[in-house]
Every structure is written in C-alpha cells, then in structure tokens.
Structure 1
Amino acid sequence: MSTDNRILDVLKSRLNDDLPTPLYIQIDQCLRSAIDEGLIADGDSLPSERAVAERLGVSRVTVRKSIERLEKDGFCRKVRGSGTFISAPKASTEPENSELPRSFCSLKGFSEDMRQRGATPSARMIERYAGQPTAEEVFSLGLQGESVYRYTRLRFADNQPVAIEVSSIPPEVLPSLESVSDSIYAALQKAGHKPSRALQRTTACALNAEQAAHLQTEEGAPALYIRRITYNQNNHPIEYTCSYHRADKFDFVAELISE
C-alpha cells in the first residue's frame, strides 16, 4: 500500500461527523495520533489537499487549516515543488542539573514515580468540577456526553512545588466527582479501569503569572508542557492530562535501542 493510501485510510477510519469537534481539528488530531502511534513516519509525504478533501468529503479549505496547524507545531514541513512531509518533533536535550529524572518508557502516576526517585510526593487539589468539555477533550477522550470531570492539582516533591496537572476524566469511568482524593490512577483502577498504556507528548513552554505563582518561580520561567492520553485495558481513553513541570526540577530519560 502506498504512503498516500495508508494516510488516507487512517484519516477515513478515524474521522467522525457526529462529533461536535470541527473537522479541521479532527484531521489535525488524527494525524498527530497516527504519528505518535508510529503509523506515519518522519519523512513520509502527505497526500495533496485535493486527495484528502475528495477522500474525506470535506473542503480543501478544511484540509489546509489542518495542515497549517500541524506545520505551526512542527509536525510537517512544506518543500517547494515537492509537497508536504511529516517532520515528527525531535526529543530535546535534557539539562544536566535537573533533580528528578523521569522515564519516557513506563506508565506511572506522579506519586509512584516520585517514590521510585527517592522523593516524598504530595498534592494539593486546586479545584475539581464537572464542566462542558472542550473540543480537545471531546476528541482525545471520545466523549459523547455533555460533561467531563476536571481535576487541577499542584504536585510536590519533598514539599517543593514541582508541577501543575489538569486532568480530564469521562464521568462514566468514575463513581462520582469526589472519587479522586490523591491518585487518579488509583481511583481509576478501583473503578475497574486500570491504566494500561498512554500516548504522551512533551514540549517546552514558559510559565504564565498564575502558573509561576503556584510553582514558586518567576513568570516566564521555562517549563515542560506534557499532554497525555491514557487508555484502559480495553483500549478506551480514560484520562486526558495537561501538566506543567518546572524545567529546573525534571529531566526525562529514554532508553534507545538499535534495531
């Protein structure tokens, strides 16, 4: 199967007209997920706007908006006269003075991970509520209902604030909003939804004033922005988390093996 047909098949199988999420965002997110899952590789060429539009039954303007979003975030690049090519974001080099290394390769909650690093974890719930889902939450969690549980927590290691996490959970996977006290993963497992795997993306960012105040650092301080979708044992999405980690407190470790 050609690369163009493979990409078109992925998009066709994942696009959902019944979702309230705009189609250009769905196309964008479908391609990002396919890159994360290894279905589309760095250097693969994207089909033409016309080919995508005809296969999906959407306008070329819709396809163009999707590609522009991907290009802006570094997921693809346009080469004059040749086309558009996947350009998967490369892992950055971690600072040598970081205090809390974390692994890219194993799925753990924050508390478990900190204990394994020899630090004492704790958390403070900033807010929790049931609210209307955003387009990103609808797509990431495959939501059908009109609400989502949101938990915003400040994370500590040895009593030092090191991260802010905003976790979104489909209401149907937890008994109630109050089911989460400390560990979301523990609450999910207790409810019969054991976290099995996750797709995660890490990028660099600068903290805004509110985030910096919570993390006891300066506005504009560098941070690691992490987006993660967690799936249960039945491969259903059960958590979408966006977190901000102080860059001077973390580095992330991955083992690379030659094929």
Structure 2
Amino acid sequence: MADGLIDILPSLNDGSAVGGPLYVKLQRLIENAVRDGLLHPGDALPPERELAAMADISRVTVRKAVQGLVNSGLLVQRHGSGTFVAPRSERVEQSLSHLTSFTEDMARRGMIVRSTWLDRGIYAPSPEEMVTLGLSSGEKVARISRLRVANDTPMAIERAALSIHVLPNPELVTLSLYAVLAESGNRPVRAIQRISAAILKENDAKLLQVPAGSASLNIERISYLESGKVIEFTRSIYRADAYEFVAELKLGDSSEISGAVL
C-alpha cells in the first residue's frame, strides 16, 4: 500500500491544494505523488472507500478522479485486484524532419522490433483510397495492417494501402515496407503527415495494451515518389504515453520551416 499517499491526502481540504473541483485536486495530488517518488510503478492505491474517508470526500469524487487518471494512463485497474500506478514506459522521440520507416527508426535506437500482423491482402479500394492513390475504376489495393512492437512494448498500429502495381504481393512485406519498396525502386522520398490527438477505442486499446479511452496520436501519411506520384497512404495510431514527435522550427518564412506539424 502507498503510505506516502496516505500522508498527503488530508491536505486536500486544508487549503494548501491548488484550487479547482475536488476530483481535480485529488488527481493533482496523486500525479504529484508519482512525480515526487511517493508513489512508484506497481504501487497499489487504497480502496475507494478508504481514499474517500482519508481525504474526507465522497466516493463519487474519488471514483471520478481515479477514472480520469486511468484514462490518462497514469493508473491501471485490475479486476479483482484494485488500482495500481501504471508501469513507466520510456517515451520514444521521432523527428518530423526525416522520412524513415518504423523499423529503421527503432533500429537506430538499438531497440528490438517485431510486428504482429493484423492483415495482408488485396482488396477493392475505398473511395478515399481511390482518390488519394489516384486509382482508376476496377484497380485493387494492397493493404497491410500490423501492430508494431519495440522491446516488447506495443507502440503503434499501422494500416497502409498501396496500389497493387507497386506492391502486387503484400506477403513480401515481412519486416520493413520501405525495404521492399526500395527493391523495386519505389521507395518514397517525401511525405505529408497530419497528426491529431484522439481517444483509443476498445479494440485498438487492447492491441496497444492500454485502457480503453487512453490518449493516442493518430497520423495520416501520404508518401510520394520523386516524380510526385503518390505511393503510400498510411494511417497509424501511436500510444501517447510511449511516443512523442519532435519538430525543428526555424525563424523565417514558410519555406524555412522544417518538420512542421500539419
């Protein structure tokens, strides 16, 4: 049990806590306890009833505070066991200035990469795929979907679509898509990425081993050949607690900005 948390809970109502609703104050107390080392990864929180009694607040307030921290990934709940401080995962930084594959990027960090295949096949394109990839009526797309894992930590879900003229056999992709494209002279040289914050749905959260409702970074990437032809249309979902994107910005006009988030 986290004795350090028990010591600071009475401060919730003594005027020393930062203002705001009580559930927000409790969240901040718990967040600060984790940051200051009073709570460690794997530590169990007192039961809801005990937390409410120690802080002199209602169980509804405790429940709301704890659920918010579960959704943010700071806490995890295990059925029949209780609520615990979540394991701490090292964030991976990804530059927005360079076009690299997940495999290449993780390898540079000395991380062991593997994939769990969710789908590899040939399909009729969706209207969006037809427009983005410039496909004519009757053409097919190759789709590859996989869970990307680095050092045994699920990092991202990637779902890519390419013309079958570029990737006639999706089964050829065993590790790096870009390595396969390079062999046929179709590796992209630039891309436009759109990044947005989102909340994970249950199925994707289960794949990434985080609670449903956790935050994610969703990326839509359209990649181009040197000729300007679109070669790849990919949508990826990254764990927000394990991945962050870094951009270098230079003062000046728009032509001097490198790695801007669109």
- TM-score w.r.t. length of structure 2: 0.60
Residues 193, 233 of structure 1: 8 Å contact kept: no
Superposed CA RMSD = 1.4
Shift of 1:98: 6.1
State percent identity of aligned pairs.
40
Which of 134, 140, 145 is the matching residue for 1:142?
134
Task: Report the 3-state secondary structure (helix = DSSP H, G, I; strand = E; otherwise coil) of the residue aligned with 1:210.
Answer: helix
Which of 193, 200, 210 is the matching residue for 2:186?
193
Counterpart in 2 of 1:123? Answer: 115
Counterpart in 2 of 1:81? Answer: none
2:78 is the alignment partner of 1:102 = no
Counterpart in 2 of 1:247? Answer: 240
Residues 155, 164 of structure 1: 8 Å contact kept: yes
Q: For 1:246 and 1:177, locate their aligned partners in 2 and report how far apart those are by CA, in whole Å.
A: 26
State the aligned residue count.
163
Which of 180, 204, 209 is the matching residue for 1:216?
209
2:175 is the alignment partner of 1:178 = no
Q: For 2:195 and 2:155, locate their aligned partners in 1 and report how far apart those are by CA, in whole Å.
A: 16
Q: For 1:234 and 1:193, locate their aligned partners in 2 and report how far apart those are by CA, in whole Å.
A: 11
Shift of 1:164: 0.3
Counterpart in 2 of 1:227? Answer: 220
Shift of 1:108: 0.1
Q: What are the within-5 Å matches in structure 2 for residues 1-259 of structure 1?
A: 99-144=91-136, 145-259=138-252
Moved over 3 A (4+): none
Q: For 1:179 and 1:168, locate their aligned partners in 2 and report how far apart those are by CA, in whole Å.
A: 14
Cα distance change of structure 1 residues 119 and 177 upon mapping to structure 2, 3 Å threshold: closer
Q: Deviations over 1:77-114 (max 9, x none)?
A: xxxxxxxxxxxxxxxxxxxx861000011000001111
Residues 98, 251 of structure 1: 8 Å contact kept: no
Letter in structure 1 aligned against 2:142: Y
Residues 132, 147 of structure 1: 8 Å contact kept: yes
Shift of 1:245: 0.2
Which consecutive residues of structure 1, in runs of 5 or more, have no partner in the other structure?
A: 1-96
- TM-score w.r.t. length of structure 1: 0.60
Q: For 1:111 and 1:177, locate their aligned partners in 2 and report how far apart those are by CA, in whole Å.
A: 17
Which consecutive residues of structure 2, in runs of 5 or more, have no partner in the other structure?
A: 1-88, 253-262
Task: Report the 3-state secondary structure (helix = DSSP H, G, I; strand = E; otherwise coil) of the residue aligned with 1:194.
Answer: coil
Residues 153, 166 of structure 1: 8 Å contact kept: yes
Q: For 2:238 and 2:214, locate their aligned partners in 1 and report how far apart those are by CA, in whole Å.
A: 11
Residues 219, 237 of structure 2: 8 Å contact kept: yes
